Amino acid sequence: MDLGVLRDQIDDIDKQIIRLFEERMDVAEQVARYKIGCGKPVYDPVRERSKIERAKDMATSSFNARGVETLFNQLMAISRVRQYELVAEAHQDNFGFEECNGDHVGAKVAFQGVEGAYGHQATLGYFGKDVECYHVKTFEDVMKEVHEGRADYGVLPVENSSTGIITDVYDLMHLYDNYIVGEYVVKVEHALLGLPGTEIDQIKTVYSHPQGLLQCSRFLDEKPEWEQVSLQNTAVSAQKVLVEQDRTQAAIASPAAAAIYSLSVLKEKISDNDNNSTRFIIIRHKKEYVKGADGISISFELANAHETGSLYHALGFIIYNSLNMTKIESRPIQGDKWRYRFFIDFDGNIGEAPVQDALRGMAQETINFKILGNYIQVE
């Protein structure tokens, strides 16, 4: 047996496959034109399933039947991507998002917590001083203020570099008709705060936001006798220590909160990680994006979540359009056991054709698809 001869045979077969592939793609383009004409969706799962079954039946072994299935799944996915490209050319569409200049002078901005909270720092850092900012109690309150129009913008934490995503905010982003228009990163430098004159040995109880306690777990592990109490916010914790005037109490919060609540920094830099940062999103009740927006966030659910390759196929639209996916998260869908909602970030601007193409594909082939926003990413 001669390897060269066998490879020549494979090359000949491949030539035929390529010719047939291109012929198939030409026909798929005609199908796309037909669908554009009558408004029929590109994806037809019933037709695809029956095609796969028939194609498998034509194979002569079970191994080949599985191969045929994989191959045809890929072929049809590629044909759909091309069809979506043609649909995108026919209907330039920004999915209801409008470009804006991002001017926010005089705007009302809601953040969660109290003055001195990291959310307050993010608000001042993103907007500067020319807005009217105010605080509300919970993350959901921020969502409501924005959704019901009392605030023009809201500021919410979505992720910490050490502990990961803030799950409640992810779940709320799906529930409210608000959109991400910006992001801001705050370097979180937790400190242990107490009443002036307090010695660390006197402390029995430490208050903080659950994230604050989690992010300082190495420091707290050395104080097993301290009771750890979670409160709504790091700054609320500092305020409580001030109000109760009890030297057995301390708070984990920012040095900025120490200044606001007249507390002393008993120990600084107690986070597990020196590079501890929290990413905040800026939300609006408007589908808008600023010029130069370069990051897109979306969420969706999969109809056939447990079918092999369903997530892979949804993500294929990002890959085939040469877009760079930067993040993926999943969250359980409330009341629907073992089903998940996916949150994906990728680079791009909603005005660009490959982005529109990927969005259109995913919108048609997933369920409860939402474009969460298009905004300028922070490095």
Single out the residue of 31, 65, 71, 229 in contact with ligand ISJ (rule: CB under 6 A): 31
Cite the active site residues.
Answer: 278, 280
Q: Residue 247 in 3-state DSSP?
A: coil
Q: Between residues 282 and 358, which has the closer beta carbon with respect to ligand ISJ?
A: 358
Amino acid code (one letter) for 270: I
**Burial track 112-123 (b if 16+ CB lie within 10 A, e otherwise):** bbbbbbbbbbbb
- Look at the chain and count its residues: 379
Q: Based on the shown chain and the rule CB under 6 A, indicate whether residue 79 belongs to the binding site for ligand ISJ.
A: yes
Q: How far is the CB of 298 from ligand ISJ (least distance, A)?
A: 21
Q: Does 28 bind ligand ISJ (CB under 6 A)?
A: yes
69 binds ligand ISJ (CB under 6 A): no
Query: Of the candidates 76, 173, 193, 363, which one interacts with ligand ISJ according to CB under 6 A?
Result: 76
- Beta-carbon contacts of residue 41 (< 8 Å; ≥ 6 apart): 35, 364
3-state secondary structure of 83: helix
Tell me if residue 93 falls in helix, strand or coil: coil
What is the spatial distance between Cα 262 and Cα 126, in angstroms, rounded to a whole number?
Answer: 26
Site string for ligand ISJ, 83-122 (x = CB under 6 A): x---------------------------------------
> How far apart, in whole angstroms, are the C-alpha atoms of residue 102 and residue 291?
9
Q: Which is nearer to ligand ISJ, 42 or 158 (CB)?
A: 42
- Contact window for ligand ISJ (CB under 6 A) among 52-60, 75-83, 145-153, 273-281: 75-83
With beta carbons less than 8 A apart as the criterion, state whether 103 and 97 touch.
Answer: no
CA–CA separation, 110 and 105 (whole Å): 15
Which token pair is 205? 């109880």
Contact region for ligand ISJ (CB under 6 A) — 39-47, 237-245, 277-285, 332-340? 39-47
CA-CA distance, 48 to 36, in Å (whole number)? Answer: 19
Among 21, 43, 226, 369, binds ligand ISJ (CB under 6 A): 43
Closest to 52 (Cα-Cα) out of 82, 33, 77, 31: 77
Binds ligand ISJ (CB under 6 A): choice among 44, 189, 272, 347: 44
Residue 47, interface with ligand ISJ (CB under 6 A)? yes
User: Given candidates 29, 48, 189, 246, which one binds ligand ISJ under the rule CB under 6 A?
Assistant: 48
Residues near ligand ISJ (CB under 6 A) are 28, 31, 42-44, 47-48, 51, 76, 79-80, 83
